[in-house]
Amino acid sequence: MVRPDLSAFGHDPWWLMSAKALAVFVFLLLTVLVAILVERKVLGRMQMRFGPNRVGPYGLLQSLVDGIKLALKEGLMPTGVDKPLYLLAPIIAVIPAFMAFAVIPMGPVVSVFGHHTPLQLTDISVAVLYVLAVTSIGVYGIVLAGWASGSTYPLLGGLRSSAQVVSYEIAMGLSFAAVFLCAGTMSTSAIVAAQDGTWYVFLLLPSFLVYVTAMVGETNRAPFDLPEAEGELVGGFHTEYSSLKFAMFMLAEYVNMTTVSALATTLFLGGWRAPWPLSMWEGSNTGWWPLLWFTAKVWTFLFLFIWLRATLPRLRYDQFMAIGWKLLIPISLAWIMAVATLRSFDVNGVFPMILASLGFLAVLLIGLRLGRARGEPEQETPVQPFDPMAGGFPVPPLPGQASLAGAPWDEEFDMPIHNGKSLRIDAVRTSGSAHDA
């Protein structure tokens, strides 16, 4: 491991440290306000409708007004809640989201009123592990919110969130291991410095793809928003929350989105370094310009979150957990072994690493394709007839069942026809509702 150079940190006066902490706080708050507005606008355009366009010019004040409205609403508290934990849960969810941004480098060393300071609050030799540790604490707020609400649906949402964090943080941590092997350090500023020539998104493409998938699952965003799935959990862990407490959960979600996007920028997209061809300009990576490049990269990932929400349907929970345990974790382990093998043979060139990444992905795709093709052929199971109105109200059929509502009727044999075949429905026809349908 390379010992990181942390000599630029720890020398700022108290007022400069306070100003930097306040600047990070304001940056995250403004990002949340803009992200909510942009998400509603983009979703509206993608769904061929208008987004917010009434409050303020072009609807630009919609997020601010929504925040004020939530803060002024009456805070309801159900009778069966555990009051201390019920009130503490939103705070536990919000504070770690802000703390994780303390070690994110947003720019190089700049001059502020004669003091030379990096555009980063602080840095330590295990900064990435600090981010993982702090962000994992936030799930306690969600679990406690579900438990303290004294209701079944919030409890199920909290349990789902804890299971997601366990499975997807393993894959996320394994994707970081390849970065540590290439950079030789866990310091965020040193990792950005190590990408001076080539970004790790090109050298470690499998790790980047695993991380992007894991960060969406980590933040409980669509299509992985199972802890708050409206279809089966009403609203999930925050069903019993209202007013400012509900706003804190929303704030924690969007701050976490910004944090994981900034971490992806730091580890794989060169951090605050300018992209090509802007990097050909000598002053692109000096002064305050890198703050602009960093913000643009973070917003690229935020737009990805919005895009996924607008296009992909929500997965079933068992499918979601299978992706984490059966796909992402094995892929990450195999890729770490490949990177460690290349490092042991002292393979440090750009082109060998790129070829190794592309070769690994090609082998993975071929293996998945062959595994699916060589799978046991599905045995055709007889279709079981199903009456959706047997209980007095319509219900959907289970896999392997065929709904008789609207099916053509074989008058000769007095039974319905499904896929060209007549079905025996002696037990189902008792109510006669299928024939009536």
Between CA 155 and CA 149 the distance in angstroms is 8
Cα–Cα distance between 353 and 355 in angstroms, integer?
5
Instruction: With a cut of 70, say whether residue 2 has pLDDT above it.
Output: no
Q: 129, 186 in Cβ contact below 8 A?
A: yes
pLDDT tens-digit profile of 184-202?
889 999 999 998 888 999 8
Q: Which residues pair with 421 in a beta bridge?
A: 418
Average pLDDT value for residue range 237-245: 86
Mean pLDDT on 74-88: 86
What's the mean pLDDT in 269-296? 88
Give the DSSP H or E segment for 322.
helix 317-322
Read off the pLDDT band of 386 (50, 70, 90).
Answer: low
Among 60-74, 222-236, 264-278, where is mean pLDDT lowest? Answer: 222-236
Of the ranges 60-64, 108-112, 347-351, which one carries the lowest mean pLDDT score? 347-351
Greater confidence (372 vs 45) lies with 45
Structure confidence at residue 299 (pLDDT): 95
Instruction: Give the start-to-end residue ranges of the domains of the chain.
Output: 78-269+299-373, 401-437
Q: Using alpha carbons, select from 72, 96, 93, 97 the residue that is nearest to residue 244.
A: 72
The structure tokens 């970004």 sit at 199
pLDDT at 436: 44
Run of H or E residues at 112: strand 109-112
Radius of gyration for the chain, computed over Cα atoms and rounded to the nearest angstrom = 26
End-to-end CA distance of the chain: 72
244's CB contacts (< 8 A; 6+ apart) are: 70, 71, 73, 75
From the number of C-beta atoms within 10 Å of its C-beta (0-12, 13-18, 19+), residue 260 rates as buried
DSSP assigned state of 118? E
What percentage of the chain carries pLDDT values higher than 70? 85
Mean model confidence pLDDT for the chain: 83
Q: What is the pTM of this model?
A: 0.82
Long-range contacts of 415-423 (CB under 8 A, 24+ apart): 416/385, 418/383, 418/385, 419/383, 421/383, 423/383, 423/385
Strands 421-422, 409-410: pairing is unpaired
Average pLDDT over residues 340-361: 82
What is residue 258's predicted lDDT score, i.e. its pLDDT? 94
CA distances from 357 to 272, 353, 380, 413 (A): 24, 6, 40, 62
Type of residue numbered 91: I
Q: Is the pLDDT of residue 25 over 90?
A: yes
**Rounded Cα distance, 270 and 296, in Å:** 12
pLDDT at position 430 over 90: no
pLDDT computed for residue 431 by the predictor: 41
